[in-house]
Chain A
């Protein structure tokens, strides 16, 4: 089990090494759709230096950032993480981005979300995991639902993009519910 903690069926969680991949990550942000699916900040081109600044330095004890790499050929395809506001509530926010368009819709994201959730429950001892996803991103909503997340509400018309307003959907998964979906340990 412990060895498998960072590995899924198709991807693994790796160190977010800025020396290996910062250029690639900056490149993902040249695709404005990637930025707009990722977060609500206004999309803008990002330099390599900015990516290394994000990832450089000592990791905060409440932030768990990872590169997502394929198991088949160890390719860097995205990043993901879990972020806690405060330990006491044992509730972390999950975020993930798959950078290359060719890798979208291949199930890598769903697999990575499953590994992140399992990491949150089995290693961080979380009670629940939260995430938010945009109304114009039904693909991500389906992937999160497949990984066991339940919609807990919609922040109405939170986002303004391309001349329209969009809801933000908030989803959550509880440890007790997740546990019931796991196969019992052999023996």
Chain B
């Protein structure tokens, strides 16, 4: 491990802070896409205006400041700085060394280029070697088979299958918990 190697810089992407003013409008556009919303949470689909997104981001930032239990990142392309996704380690339980990982790319056109893989590798190093967590947990619905494959390809194991726990698009879907232990991640990297 080299302390000089940036925690934030991937090959083509970088993790950075969220710009409340500029990013809110971009994220608001993403919320017009039900698939994006389904992948980022269990809330029913609700497109948001830029002002509403900004309020949410402000609340998140306040929570991060006060509780130190969440770490939010904007994912940007290095060449032009364009915002392409959001990532977070949240619900940190310091005494147990666990956090929940979230990662989503906003535009369908930005998926499938390996940006997510770069971002995930950065998040894992941040979680295990900066926050010193023991394990990371991710949630993914059966309606997102690409997401399940993505997490498994990067070392996550399916641990829990809550049967029929999600209702979307007129159907019931299982909800999976996937986990990656620091020791497993170290053995792979």
Beyond A155-B177, A157-B134, whether A170 also contacts B42 by CB under 8 A is no
* Cα(A90)–Cα(B172), bound, Å: 11
A128 touches B160 (CB 8 A): no
Q: Which of A122-174 contact B (CB under 8 A)?
A: 127-128, 130, 152-160, 165, 170, 172, 174
Residues of B within 8 A of A60 (CB): none
B160 and A153: CB pair below 8 A? yes
What residues of B have a CB within 8 angstroms of the CB of A152 in the complex? 160-163
Q: Does B165 contact A (CB under 8 A)?
A: yes
Residues of B138-167 whose CB lies within 8 A of A: 157-167
The stretch of B12-20, B25-33, B49-57, B91-99 that contacts the partner chain: B91-99
Chain B, interface size category, equals 20 to 34
Most A-side CB within 10 Å, residue of B96, B158, B172: B96
- Measured in the bound complex, the distance between the Cα atoms of B157 and A152 in whole Å is 14
Residues of chain A within 8 A of B181, CB atoms compared: 156-157
Contacts of B98 in A (CB 8 A): 158
Cα A91 to Cα B141 with chains together (Å): 14
When C-beta atoms are compared, the residue in chain B nearest to A43 turns out to be B95
Q: Confirm or deny: B43 has a beta carbon within 8 angstroms of a beta carbon on chain A.
A: yes
Q: Is the CB of B135 closer than 8 A to any CB of chain A?
A: yes
Given A155-B179, A157-B134, is A172 in contact with B163 using a C-beta cutoff of 8 Å?
A: yes
Asked if residues B96 and A158 are in contact (CB atoms below 8 Å), the reply is: yes
Are the CB atoms of A42 and B166 closer together than 8 Å?
A: no
A89 contacts B by Cβ under 8 Å: yes
> A45-66, CB under 8 A of B: which get 1 and which 0?
0000000000000000000000
Contact of B162 with A158 in the complex, beta carbons under 8 Å: no
Given contacts A86-B43, A89-B42, are A130 and B162 in contact (CB under 8 A)? Answer: yes
Q: Mark B61-93, 1 if CB is under 8 A from A, else 0.
A: 000000000000000000000000000000001
Contact A153–B159 (Cβ < 8 Å): yes
Q: Are B164 and A127 in contact (CB under 8 A)?
A: yes
Chain A nearest CB: distance from B47 CB in Å? 16
Q: Which residue of B42, B43, B158, B164 is within 8 Å of A174 (Cβ)?
A: B164
Tell me if B4 is interfacial: C-beta within 8 Å of chain A.
no
Is B112 interfacial (CB-CB < 8 Å)? no
Q: Establish whether residues A154 and B159, one from each chain, have CB atoms under 8 Å apart when the complex forms.
A: yes
Instruction: Write out, one digit per residue, whether chain B residues 174-189 have a CB within 8 A of any chain A CB (1) or not (0).
Output: 0001010100000000
Q: Tell me whether A127 and B167 are in contact in the complex, defined as CB-CB below 8 angstroms, given that A88-B44, A154-B160 are known contacts.
A: yes
Check: A20 CB closer than 8 A to any chain B CB: no
Cβ-defined contact, B167 with A90, below 8 A = yes
- 7 shortest A-B CB distances, which residue pairs? A153-B160, A170-B160, A88-B44, A91-B165, A89-B167, A160-B96, A42-B95
Q: Which residues of A contact B (CB under 8 A)?
A: 40, 42, 85-86, 88-91, 127-128, 130, 152-160, 165, 170, 172, 174
